[in-house]
Amino acid sequence: MNNVTAEVIRRFRDKVTGKIHEVGTDYVGTDSRVNELVKIGFLKANNQKSALNKLTVSELKEKAKKEGIEIPADITKKDDIVKFLTDAQ
């Protein structure tokens, strides 16, 4: 599993681990768990882009496919794909 790091913006107790996460600290978890906590409002989403930058073009396309996002054929460069995926989320 790919772990992703995101900044805590609201104190919370993780229902999975039971650990309390304080504001300003980094939360490390799976991509899906981080996305869930971002939607709830506990984590800041800005680190998503840095996590996407670590993937190759083929990995980015595979990730988009898994999330049901269709990347237009004219977007072929890695930076453009990362921007497209970041904007799509």
Residue 50's pLDDT is what? 64
Residue 89's pLDDT is what? 61
The contacts of residue 53 (CB under 8 Å, 6+ apart) are 82
Residue 23's pLDDT is what? 94
**How many beta carbons lie within 10 A of that of residue 29, not counting itself?**
20
pLDDT digits (tens, 9 = 90+) for 18-30: 999 999 998 988 8
pLDDT digits (tens, 9 = 90+) for 42-88: 998 765 566 777 789 998 899 888 888 899 999 999 889 888 887 77
Residue 6's pLDDT is what? 86
